[in-house]
Amino acid sequence: MGPDQFAARREPQWTRLESLLAKARRRAPGLGQLGPSEVWQLSKLYRGLAADLMWVKRERFGSEMELRLERLASEAHRLLHKGQASRQSGLLSQLLDFPGAVRRNRAWVLIALGLFYGTTLVGGLLAWFDQVYAEAILGPQQVLLMEDMYGEAAVRSVEANLTMTGFYVFNNVGIAFRCFATGFLLGIGPIFYMVFNGLNLGAVAGHLVRIGAGGNIGAFVVSHAPWELTAIGLAGAAGLQMGWAVIAPGRHTRLGRLRRVGPELMRQVLGIAAFLLVAALIEGLWSATSAPAWVKLSCGIVGAVLVGWILIFSGRRRPLPEDVRDG
């Protein structure tokens, strides 16, 4: 049988399949668009197409026909098999697995937090004892701006609070995501972000303490700090894990290793985003109100206890995710 004869004979089936696929493509695409007998027909046509395609390839009936059948096959395949999209747990379930993922990677968390808090502490001490240091790190304008902002207790108008809440969502979650994403480059990104942010934060805090405004900035940050500073550190940890998967893939190829850590990273990123959202709401709507410092301090303590409880104790009874169980 020549190509033309073959095509003429099989054309009705292909056309039928094409029209079924077109029907399934309308509006919310999926098998739901088709009736039961149509689905049955589709799967039969698909199997027929598989045989046709093999024949066309073996007989080399030409790339034209091959192309058309391959396109049909690929679309029918996507429609009939949902793959990962259906096997995978929903985003909420992945979010609930976040504390477990953090605990499983606690070594990385400790390294990232150590790096972040360590540079913050060192930078803070340096800025506290040495006037020149903060100016060298932040630049004189920035120092003046900080002195201006925290010269007295930070209180904003309601309007400004709303604007700033949005800004914190955009800026802080963005920083965390970027810190994570650049982990791909052998972990250089997270290390840079941890050190850079740590030094900056330390310089600001140390300098303000030195000029006697420590109480003001302390009252401002204490409520949201547990959420925000932990989440930034966790983002660094997730980025480092990704970098390490590239550096030392173990028994896998580098790409294979990356692919395996993907789900675990996703859980952490979702949790980090949730933490930062909480932080942004507190920082935007509450931190700059005129509530007395001791109330804010107790908010900070409650926050710290909650963060600690979530990361250390929550979700312990959840079953291990599949990808972790398989090692």
Partner 1 sequence: MRAPLDGVAWIETPEQLGFRVHLAGPVRRGFAWLLDVVLQALLLGVLAWALGGLGGLGQGLLFVALFFFTWLYFALFEVTMQGRSPGKRVLRLQVLSEDGLPVSARQALLRNLLRGADLLLLPAGGILPLGVLPMIFDRRMRRFGDMLAGTIVTAEPRDRPIRAFARPSAESLRGLPPILPLDRNDLEALDGFAARRHLGPHRRAELAAILAPVYARRLGRPAPREPSEFLLALWARGRRREEQTRGA
Interface residue list for partner 1 (CB under 8 A): 2-4, 29, 46-47, 50, 53-54, 59-60, 62-64, 67-71, 73-74, 77-78, 81-85, 88, 90-91, 94, 157-167, 169-171, 173-174, 177-178, 180-185, 189, 242, 255, 258-259, 262-263, 265-266, 269, 284
Kindly state the smallest distance separating residue 174's Cβ from partner 1, in Å. Answer: 6
Q: Is the dihedral of CA 280, 282, 286, 288 positive or negative?
A: negative
Kindly state the smallest distance separating residue 3's Cβ from partner 1, in Å. Answer: 7
Q: Which two tokens stand for residue 23?
A: 């029907």
Helices (H), the chain: 3-25, 36-59, 63-80, 84-87, 91-96, 98-104, 106-129, 131-138, 140-150, 158-168, 174-181, 188-210, 214-221, 225-247, 254-285, 293-312, 322-325
Kindly state the smallest distance separating residue 171's Cβ from partner 1, in Å. Answer: 8
Kindly state the smallest distance separating residue 140's Cβ from partner 1, in Å. Answer: 28
| Residue 117 or 167 with smaller CB distance to partner 1 | 167
**Greatest distance between any 2 Cα atoms in the chain:** 93
Closest CA to 206 of 130, 148, 102: 130
| Residue 229 or 270 with smaller CB distance to partner 1 | 270
Spell out the long-range contacts of 80-87 with Cβ–Cβ below 8 A and sequence spacing 24 or more. Answer: 80/31, 80/42, 80/43, 80/46
| Residue 23 or 210 with smaller CB distance to partner 1 | 23
Kindly state the smallest distance separating residue 1's Cβ from partner 1, in Å. Answer: 11
| Residue 93 or 298 with smaller CB distance to partner 1 | 93
The type of residue at 224 is H
How far, in Å, CA of 320 to CA of 326, rounded? 10
| Residue 140 or 254 with smaller CB distance to partner 1 | 254
Q: Which two tokens stand for residue 299?
A: 């908010």
| Residue 269 or 311 with smaller CB distance to partner 1 | 269
Kindly state the smallest distance separating residue 13's Cβ from partner 1, in Å. Answer: 15
